Chains A and B, each alone.
Chain A
């Protein structure tokens, strides 16, 4: 059974600080996804990482993937209040019929405090 673990599950940080969210997974997968969810809202796609060593950046967020270590990180630089949300990683090993089923971590709830 594929397991996806995020650490930490809750994160309270001050504005201007840096921090990293970790996503570990238990089986081989060369693709990983990061999503953001605001309270009561849907999920927004942030990053799609499709190969070992992939790195993507958007604003204050940077995601990376190490398939050998089965680890992805989401790094937050100089946090601002608008980044407060829950962040999910999801792993997608091939499941047949041309489809990749996403298995999600439980999410990291980030609160950025002024």
Chain B
């Protein structure tokens, strides 16, 4: 059974940093692109980042480019999201996601609140 478990969320002040982690199991992690998607409270979904199988290619929307960094450790079946210079508009539930066809599987999400 595929499992994606996020951790590392919490309350952080504007301008500070936070690193999220996602532990994957139940599939061959190194074979799949991985992604982060977020959802602000009572809002829609926003794709945040994607990383290739080896980690050599990464993709971001303009809203986080230059502030967020996605990375992975295939030996540990783990995905990360380093978030710097956080803004109030980054407040959201962050989901780790992956899959063969699209974003097939999602974690339960971790809440990040950016507030002073």
Asked if A pairs with B, the answer is no
Please list the residues of chain B having a beta carbon within 8 angstroms of any beta carbon in chain A.
none
